[in-house]
Amino acid sequence: MGKARPKRLALVWSQFAAYHVDRCEALAALTAGKVDIYAVEVATSSHLYAWEPSGAIRGTKKITLFHGKKFEEIAPLHRFLKLFVQLVKCDQVFWGIGYHEPEIIPLIWLLRLFGVKAYLMMDSKYDDSPRQNWFEFLKSIGLSAYSGALVAGHRHRQYVEFLSFRNRPVLLGYDCVAMARFQKFNVEDSNKVDWQDRDFLFVGRFVAKKNILKLIDAFNMYCEYAKEDARRLILVGDGPQRPEIMRKIVDLGLHGQVIMTGFLPSDEVAKAMGISLALLLVSYEEQWGLVINEAVALGLPVIASANCGSTDLLVRNLVNGLVVEPRSVEAICAAMVRMAGSEEEWQAMSKASSRFEQFADVSFFANSVIELAKIE
């Protein structure tokens, strides 16, 4: 008898960013010689994210179904057909494409008929938006074709269990980054910046859910309190809300105190974090917030809203950061005042970040996939 072929496991996303490459490579490293890992992206880019096209992914068979295309510009039927042709050859598929895309649920059911096990990868929570129970019931029927789920945190697990996953395996570890990759960037300048010279930092898209306008209101209140000792606020990113943010800065007279850098590559983000006082992510809607993983990697304290899913695992109030109510300007301001008020407390929070690295690193993701897929 011939030697049986290795099992084939696919990780699928609409497009790859560095985060997805991290996860694929971590899984491939831990399963080398046991499973063939297929890293499948539908398109090279998208309208939603300004990520650079990904390159080769070590240890995997990387497949781009539509080279040079944006995900949203490809008809759902064409995505359905190409995904089916590629994935029907696999034994197990871990899905990072949202089930709201019209082709996904029918495709999962069809693959199941061909004996392919599908696993949901998700970072949605019940509290992300208003829910209608009748719609959630219909959703649970559609999702019943999945064999299990890999989710981000505790609230995400509660949500999929609400969607009738109680009798199927559900593990944590979806939203992770490679700690080593981010830590290797040149952040030696961080040791040269004194505590009193460090600024507040925001990193993300300029969209309404990030709550940037209210963040600026809170920063203005902080400046009125701190007066000449006020730190600056650095905004890294870009997006459709940029003109509104710029008007807000001018209206409040903060053009010298709020600095907008535009998008920065990962190494520049790491450098910015290395010389900052705290990362601010006070979104009123945030499924996770991978930038908090990066802050944990570099020992940067965090001021985050309770709405951020990553506060489930990566932020403990008064341990490595401060958790605030996103709609309260006063609460956000008070957190800034406290973070800027004591170097001793700041140092303690920075050191405490190492306690959370195990939940931020891609090894957490890879081990959870291995457990779900029963790879020995």
* Token pair recorded at residue 203: 């990193």
* pLDDT number for residue 190: 63
Q: Are strands 233-236 and 61-70 parallel, antiparallel or unpaired?
A: unpaired
Q: Which residues contact 372 (CB under 8 A, 6 or more apart)?
A: 94, 119, 148, 150, 169, 171
Number of neighbouring beta carbons within 10 Å of residue 229: 10
Residues 128 and 193 reside in one and the same domain: no
* pLDDT number for residue 186: 59
Residues 139 and 187 reside in one and the same domain: no
Residues 159 and 188 reside in one and the same domain: no
Query: How buried is 45 (Cβ within 10 angstroms: 0-12 exposed, 13-18 middle, 19+ buried)?
Result: buried
Type of residue at 287: Q
- The DSSP bridge partners found for residue 170 are 149
CB 152 within 8 A of CB 142: no
Number of neighbouring beta carbons within 10 Å of residue 364: 21
Give, rounded to a whole angstrom, the gap between the first and last alpha carbons of the chain.
Answer: 23
Residue 124 lies in a domain: yes
Residues 40 and 146 reside in one and the same domain: yes
* pLDDT number for residue 29: 97
Residues 218 and 266 reside in one and the same domain: yes
Q: Render the burial of 331-346: b for 16+ CB within 10 Å, e for the rest.
A: bbbbbbeebbeeeeeb
Residues 352 and 365 reside in one and the same domain: no
How far is C-alpha 204 from the geometric centre of its chain's CA atoms?
11
Residue 190 lies in a domain: yes
Q: How many residues does the chain have?
A: 376
d(CA 360, CA 351): 15
Q: Are strands 61-70 and 92-95 parallel, antiparallel or unpaired?
A: unpaired
CATH number at residue 239: 3.40.50.2000
* C-alpha separations of 172 from 25, 176, 180 in Å: 18, 10, 21
Q: Render the burial of 261-289: b for 16+ CB within 10 Å, e for the rest.
A: eeeeebeebbbbbbbbbbbbbbbbbbbbb
Residue 44 lies in a domain: yes
Domain that holds residue 154: 7-178+361-373
Residues 334 and 365 reside in one and the same domain: no
* pLDDT number for residue 1: 44
Residues 163 and 185 reside in one and the same domain: no
Residue 128 lies in a domain: yes
Residue 76 lies in a domain: yes
Residues 172 and 191 reside in one and the same domain: no
Residue 97 lies in a domain: yes
285 — phi, psi (to 5°)?
Answer: -145, 120
Residue 312 lies in a domain: yes
Residues 245 and 229 reside in one and the same domain: yes
List, for residues 36-92, the tens digit of each pLDDT value.
999 999 999 888 777 778 889 999 999 999 999 999 999 999 999 999 999 999 999
Alpha-helix residue ranges (DSSP H) falling in the chain: 18-30, 76-87, 104-113, 133-142, 154-160, 179-184, 212-226, 242-251, 266-274, 290-297, 329-339, 343-352, 357-360, 362-373
Residue 2 lies in a domain: no
d(CA 66, CA 40): 11
Q: How many structural domains does the chain have?
A: 2
* pLDDT number for residue 3: 60
* pLDDT number for residue 189: 61
Q: What is the pLDDT along the chain (376 residues), one digit of tens a residue?
A: 456 678 999 999 999 998 999 999 999 999 999 999 999 999 998 887 777 788 899 999 999 999 999 999 999 999 999 999 999 999 999 999 999 999 999 999 999 999 999 999 999 999 999 999 999 999 999 999 999 999 999 999 999 999 999 899 999 999 999 998 888 875 666 677 899 999 999 999 999 999 999 999 999 999 999 999 999 999 999 999 999 999 999 999 998 999 999 999 888 999 999 999 999 999 999 999 999 999 999 999 999 999 999 999 999 999 999 999 999 999 999 999 999 999 999 999 999 999 999 999 999 999 999 999 999 8
| Residue with token string 């850098």 | 261
Residues 166 and 200 reside in one and the same domain: no
List, for residues 4-46, the tens digit of each pLDDT value.
678 999 999 999 998 999 999 999 999 999 999 999 999 998 8
* Token pair recorded at residue 316: 């403990």
* pLDDT number for residue 63: 96
Q: Which of 280, 286, 279 is nearest to 156 (CA)?
A: 286
* pLDDT number for residue 5: 74
> Is this structure's pTM higher than 0.85?
yes
Query: How buried is 253 (Cβ within 10 angstroms: 0-12 exposed, 13-18 middle, 19+ buried)?
Result: exposed
Residues 128 and 62 reside in one and the same domain: yes
d(CA 233, CA 236): 10
d(CA 37, CA 35): 6
